[in-house]
């Protein structure tokens, strides 16, 4: 055995030279012949390469071989395994083998159990067919995570009819399951989860009457669930989540009285839950989340007294919760979140004394939190957020095992009970977006890791005890208005702090200089919209983890410290609305991950020099230098590097700090379409270029037309000359274009007419001439878009053009289809103009209408959209703050 891979601190394997191998750990011998017939080396911490010349393959009498959970360093599975013709059990699970599964495995015709799961293997169709045809005694086949993407599901028909267990999770299988799968009548365990199967679920599963475990989750099966499921009377686990099943749940499960777990989550069912589920008296786990069920919970469900886990979240259940829920006394986890339940939270929940996880968020519960809830002394997680609850009882400290408490987005008022700050096990405390007032009481528990008290009415200074929470990961106190005082440098003792958000308050004094380098974990630093003075912290140490740096809306002076170059992970930089007196910090181009740069409303001056590298600012999506004194030509070289603005990102997610103990969603207040808009979330697809209100000169570069994903382009209030570039017609996602108050000349390019998302256009106060283009979006813009251009003519201006120059283009078919409005434009033109931009606008959390439109349309749209615009505090400093999500 000398050629066997070396061992690194084996657990219990002990092989001593000079002793008989039959006495060695993991070795089994035939007592008559002395031949080695079994090797069990699973989890033995073996490592190295397994060569085909290994003496392992000289053990021709081996019947059982287990090499699972070791590390063979991406060795291929040697064809020499095919020489071990007496093998009945071969287990290579999770041992870091790689490459093709050798066809020689099919020579092992005596195999009853084969496990090649969780390696980096590929099984080609010819090898699988040989394996299926030759291993006629196979009872157990485990190939989880083996790449079988080229294997046709019809090949399954060749598998041994003796199979009792078949596991093919994450194998890349695709297509429809063959109807004759039912011939595998001995199957007791079938797992085909997380593949790409499509089509209906085969009816002939009904023939597999011994089946106890069926997992088809994570595929794309569709259609109704077959009634033949009712024949699988031995079934204990049925997992069908993450498919596209539709229709109603009727009586398919009535006969499945042995079921212990039923998971139908993430499908497209409709209607109410079938009362037949009440017949499944042995059920322990019922998961019906994201299934689009509606109505009331049927009473039969409350007869399932063996349930330990019930998940009905993310549906459309409504009305009050029945007091019969208290019958389910074995429940340990209950999730009714994201529904439409209303009324008071049932006091019968107090009977569920084994609960450790209770989630009722995103409903319409009202009233006070019932006292019975404080009988649940096993609770570790309680989420009642996003309801309409009032009043917070002082008995919260009875929940002594509670680790996470989320009461955010309710109507809770009064002072925060001091008992919350002394709960011995509490790790996460979320009370944000309520109506709490008063002072923050001293923190008496050192267990807290995450504190969010933002968006309340708290006042006075931060208690010093808060800075003694040495394990704190996140502190969020934003938008309390009356929190005041200086921020002590003692805060830098919080060595594990990842998120610090004190924005939108009345803190004053100097920002502690230590915040730039006090730990290597701080990722989010948001001190925006306060009264901080002095300089930006000047030292940012190498190896820091800053991702989001937000000092907007203070009274900071001086320069942007060059040590910011050490923030190599920085994605978001907002230093706007201060009094920074500096040139543009060109060293920022060395930060490879920057997506947002906002330096507006400062005293920046000088020109923007070109980049020193071809990939600088390649991820930038928001670039706002407005309201400064920058001069010189527009930075064409930078525009050529804005790669992220050149490709359209259809990701509908939001910008956030990831890879933290808790996610933090970015937010910002921007000037968009002429108004200050607060984005409580910033969609990844949002791209803005704003260089307005500076002293830029020269022409608009043609390269701006490459930035195809731009939503807003604002170059207004500069001293630009020359023509409007026709290449701007390539900005097909543009919703707002402002080139006003420059010295632009020539005609308005006809190409701009095709910007069908364009909602706001301002070309006023230039030296443009000729006729105004007509049609499509341009039929919706008012005279204010063009005023101050004395040589422009045509609608909507009152100046007519000479020599037919201002004649409108013939009405398009699009316009001719609608004649029911008499305001000079058709509804469908408006629908296109607003509709496209409107869809994006709603998803962003804003809608701004600045063009001519029918009053009834405006009222309809504005009723359905929350437009969050705020008067700016102090020299237009916006209020803002990120949010845990």
Pull the structure tokens for residue 301.
């469900």
pLDDT class for 560, splitting at 50, 70, 90?
Answer: very high
* Tens digits of residue pLDDT in 300-313: 899 999 999 999 99
- What's the rounded Cα separation, in Å, for the pair 176 and 748? 56
Residue pLDDT, tens place only, 580-638: 999 999 999 999 999 999 999 999 999 998 787 778 899 999 999 999 999 999 999 99
pLDDT of residue 749: 94
Answer with the residue of higher pLDDT: 819 or 105.
Answer: 105
Report the C-alpha gap between 162 and 180 in whole angstroms: 15
CA distance 563 to 543: 12
List, for residues 823-869, the tens digit of each pLDDT value. Answer: 322 222 333 333 333 333 333 333 332 332 332 233 333 333 333 33
- Of 107, 129, 160, the domain-final residue: 160
Domain boundary, last residue among 124, 139, 160: 160
Establish if 819 belongs to a structural domain.
Answer: no
Tell me whether residue 686 is in a domain. yes
Band (pLDDT 50/70/90 cuts) for residue 18 is low
* Residue 523 confidence (pLDDT): 92
Q: How many residues does the chain have?
A: 885
CA distance 221 to 496: 46
Say if CB 695 and CB 629 are below 8 A apart.
Answer: yes
Best-predicted range by mean pLDDT among 186-200, 439-453, 488-502, 639-653? 186-200
**Which pLDDT does position 180 carry in this prediction?**
66
Domain count across the chain: 2
- Residues 483-531: tens digit of each pLDDT: 999 998 889 889 899 999 999 999 999 999 888 777 788 999 999 999 9
Burial class (CB within 10 angstroms; exposed 0-12, middle 13-18, buried 19+) of 650: exposed
In a domain, 732, yes or no: yes
CATH at 80: 3.80.10.10
Q: Convert the pLDDT of each residue in 346-363 to its tens digit.
A: 999 999 999 999 999 999
- Residue 778: inside a domain, yes or no? yes
Q: For residue range 34-74, what is the model confidence (pLDDT) as tens digits?
A: 899 999 999 988 899 999 889 899 999 999 999 999 999 99
φ, ψ for residue 375 (rounded to 5)? -80, -15
What's the whole-number mean pLDDT along residues 413-428? 89
Q: What was the pLDDT predicted at 776?
A: 83
For residue 659, the 8-state DSSP code is: S
Burial zone of 90 (CB within 10 Å; 0-12 exposed, 13-18 middle, 19+ buried): buried
Asked if residue 446 belongs to a domain, the reply is no
Q: What is the reported pLDDT for 12? A: 53
Could you write out the DSSP letters of every residue in 624-647? E--SSEEEEE--HHHHHH-GGGTS
pLDDT band with cut points at 50, 70 and 90 for residue 662: confident
* Average pLDDT across the chain, whole number: 86
Dist CA 686 CA 622 (whole Å): 8
Residues in CB range of 69: below 8 A, 6 or more apart: 42, 43, 93, 94, 95
Least confidently predicted of 26-30, 760-764, 782-786, 844-848: 844-848
The pLDDT tens digits for 352-391 are: 999 999 999 999 999 999 988 989 999 999 999 999 999 8
**Would you place residue 683 in the very low, low, confident or very high pLDDT band (cuts 50, 70, 90)?**
confident
pLDDT digits (tens, 9 = 90+) for 80-89: 999 999 999 9
Question: What values do phi and psi take at 86, rounded to 5?
Answer: -90, 0
* Residues 191-213, mean pLDDT to the nearest whole number: 90
Q: Look up the pTM and report it.
A: 0.81
At 13 the pLDDT is: 58
The Cβ of residue 42 has, within 10 Å, a number of other Cβ atoms equal to 18
pLDDT at residue 179 tops 90: no
Which residues form the domain of 725? 538-793
- Helix (H) / strand (E) element for 438: namely strand 435-438
Nearest to 555 by CA among 523, 525, 532: 532
Q: Angle, to 10 degrees, between the axis of helix 827-844 and the axis of helix 855-863?
A: 20
What is the DSSP track for 259-289?
Answer: -SEEE--SSEE-SPPPGGGGG-TT--EEE-T
Q: Per residue, what are the HEC states of 543-590?
A: CCCCCEEECCCCEEECCCCHHHHHCCCCCEEECCCCCCCCECCHHHHH
Q: Let me know: does 39 contact 65? Beta carbons within 8 Å.
A: yes
Residue with tokens 């009727």: 250
What pLDDT sits at residue 806?
41
Report d(CA 415, CA 348) in Å as an integer: 28
Beta bridge partner(s), residue 617: none
pLDDT at 885: 45
Q: Band of the pLDDT at 803, cuts 50, 70, 90?
A: low
Cis peptide before 796 (omega within 30 of 0): yes
**140: which strand partners?**
113, 165
Residue 318 lies in a domain: no
Beta strands in 248-374 (DSSP E): 261-263, 268-269, 285-287, 294-295, 309-311, 316-319, 333-335, 340-344, 357-359, 364-367
For the chain, what percent of residues have pLDDT higher than 70? 88
Q: Please tell me the distance from the alpha carbon of residue 337 to that of residue 381, in angstroms, as a whole number.
A: 13
Which residues are 719's β-sheet partners? Answer: 697
Q: Distance of alpha carbon 153 from its chain centroid, rounded?
A: 33
Does some domain include residue 207? Answer: no
User: Does residue 824 contact residue 842 with C-beta atoms inside 8 Å?
Assistant: no
In 3D space, the residue among 779, 775, 770 whose CA is nearest the CA of residue 748 turns out to be 770
Q: Which residue, 570, 546, 574, is CA-closest to 560?
A: 574
Strand pairing category for 165-167 and 140-142: parallel
Give the pLDDT mean for 325-351. 95
Q: How far is CA 157 from CA 66, 112, 150, 184, 512, in A?
A: 28, 18, 16, 8, 71
% of the chain exceeding 90 in pLDDT = 64
pLDDT per residue over 691-719, tens digit each?
999 999 999 999 999 999 999 999 999 99
Look at residue 173 and tell me if it is in a domain: no
Q: Please identify, among 160, 181, 203, the residue that sits at the C-terminal boundary of a domain.
A: 160
User: What's the rounded Cα separation, in Å, for the pair 142 and 119?
Assistant: 12
Residue 448 pLDDT more than 80? yes
Residue 832: CB atoms within 10 A of its CB come to 17
């Amino acid at each position: 055995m000398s050629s066997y891979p070396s061992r690194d601190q084996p657990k219990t394997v002990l092989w001593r030279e000079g002793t008989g191998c039959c006495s060695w750990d993991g070795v089994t011998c035939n007592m008559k012949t002395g031949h080695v017939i079994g090797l069990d080396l699973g989890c033995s911490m073996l490592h190295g390469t397994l060569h085909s010349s290994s003496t392992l393959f000289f053990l021709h009498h081996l019947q059982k071989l287990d090499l699972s959970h070791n590390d063979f360093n991406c060795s291929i599975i040697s064809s020499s395994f095919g020489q071990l013709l007496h093998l009945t059990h071969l287990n290579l699970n999770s041992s870091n083998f790689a490459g093709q599964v050798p066809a020689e495995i099919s020579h092992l015709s005596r195999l009853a159990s084969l496990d090649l799961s969780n390696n980096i293997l590929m099984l080609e169709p010819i090898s699988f067919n040989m394996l299926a045809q030759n291993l006629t005694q196979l009872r157990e086949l485990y190939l989880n995570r083996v790449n079988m993407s080229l294997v046709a599901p019809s090949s399954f028909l060749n598998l041994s009819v003796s199979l009792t267990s078949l596991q093919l999770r994450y194998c890349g299988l695709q297509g429809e399951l063959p109807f004759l799968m039912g011939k595998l009548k001995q199957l007791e365990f079938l797992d085909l989860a997380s593949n790409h199967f499509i089509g209906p679920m085969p009816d002939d599963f009904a023939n597999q009457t011994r089946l106890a475990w069926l997992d088809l989750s994570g595929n794309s099966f569709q259609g109704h669930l077959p009634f033949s499921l009712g024949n699988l009377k031995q079934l204990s686990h049925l997992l069908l989540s993450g498919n596209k099943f539709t229709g109603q749940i009727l009586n398919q499960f009535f006969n499945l009285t042995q079921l212990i777990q039923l998971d139908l989550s993430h499908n497209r069912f409709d209607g109410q839950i079938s009362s037949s589920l009440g017949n499944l008296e042995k059920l322990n786990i019922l998961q019906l989340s994201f299934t689009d069920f509606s109505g009331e919970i049927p009473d039969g469900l409350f007869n399932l007294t063996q349930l330990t886990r019930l998940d009905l979240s993310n549906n459309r259940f409504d009305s009050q919760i029945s007091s019969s829920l208290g019958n389910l006394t074995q429940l340990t986890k209950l999730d009714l979140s994201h529904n439409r339940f209303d009324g008071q939270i049932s006091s019968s929940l107090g009977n569920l004394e084994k609960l450790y996880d209770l989630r009722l968020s995103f409903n319409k519960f009202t009233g006070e939190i019932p006292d019975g809830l404080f009988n649940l002394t096993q609770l570790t997680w309680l989420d009642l957020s996003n309801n309409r609850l009032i009043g917070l009882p002082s008995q919260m400290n009875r929940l002594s095992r509670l680790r996470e408490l989320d009461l955010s987005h309710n109507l809770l008022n009064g002072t925060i009970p001091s008992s919350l700050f002394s709960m011995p096990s509490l790790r996460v405390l979320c009370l944000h977006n309520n109506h709490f007032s008063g002072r923050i009481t001293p923190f008496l528990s050192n267990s807290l890791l995450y504190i969010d008290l933002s968006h309340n009415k708290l006042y006075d200074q931060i208690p010093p005890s808060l800075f003694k929470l040495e394990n704190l990961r996140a502190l969020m106190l934003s938008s309390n208005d009356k929190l005041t005082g200086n921020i002590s440098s003692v805060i830098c003792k919080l060595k594990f702090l990842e998120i610090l958000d004190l924005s939108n308050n009345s803190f004053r004094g100097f920002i502690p200089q230590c915040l730039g380098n006090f730990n290597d974990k701080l990722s989010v630093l948001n001190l925006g919209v306060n009264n901080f003075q002095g300089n930006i912290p000047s030292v940012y140490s190498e190896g820091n983890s800053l991702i989001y740096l937000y000092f907007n809306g203070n009274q900071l002076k001086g320069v942007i410290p060059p040590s910011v170059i050490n923030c190599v992970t920085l994605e978001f930089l907002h230093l706007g609305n201060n009094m920074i007196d500096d040139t543009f910090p060109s060293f920022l181009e060395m930060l490879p991950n920057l997506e947002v740069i906002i330096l507006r409303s400062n005293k920046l001056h000088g020109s923007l020099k070109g980049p020193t590298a071809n990939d600088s600012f390649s991820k930038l999506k928001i670039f706002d230098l407005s309201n400064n004194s920058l001069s010189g030509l527009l930075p064409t070289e930078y525009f050529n590097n804005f790669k992220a603005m050149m490709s359209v990102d259809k990701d509908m997610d939001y910008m956030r700090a990831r890879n933290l103990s808790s996610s933090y969603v970015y937010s910002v207040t921007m000037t968009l379409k002429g108004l200050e808009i607060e984005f409580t979330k910033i969609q990844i697809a949002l791209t803005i270029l704003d260089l307005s209100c500076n002293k830029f000169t020269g022409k608009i570069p043609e390269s701006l037309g490459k930035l195809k994903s731009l939503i807003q382009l604002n170059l207004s209030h500069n001293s630009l000359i020359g023509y409007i570039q026709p290449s701007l017609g390539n900005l097909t996602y543009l919703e707002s274009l402002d080139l006003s108050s420059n010295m632009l000349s020539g005609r308005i390019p006809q190409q701009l007419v095709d910007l069908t998302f364009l909602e706001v256009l301002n070309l006023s106060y230039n030296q443009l001439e000729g006729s105004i283009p007509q049609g499509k979006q341009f039929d919706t813009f008012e005279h204010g878009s063009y005023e101050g251009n004395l040589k422009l003519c045509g609608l909507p201006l009152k100046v007519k053009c000479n020599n037919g120059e201002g004649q409108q283009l013939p009405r398009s078919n699009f316009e001719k289809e609608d004649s029911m409005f008499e305001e000079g434009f058709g509804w469908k033109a408006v629908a296109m103009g607003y509709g496209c931009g409107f869809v994006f606008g709603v998803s962003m959390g804003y809608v701004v209408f600045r063009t001519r439109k029918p009053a009834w349309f405006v009222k309809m749209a504005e009723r359905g959209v929350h437009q969050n615009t705020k008067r700016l505090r102090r020299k237009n400093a916006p209020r803002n703050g990120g949010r845990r999500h």
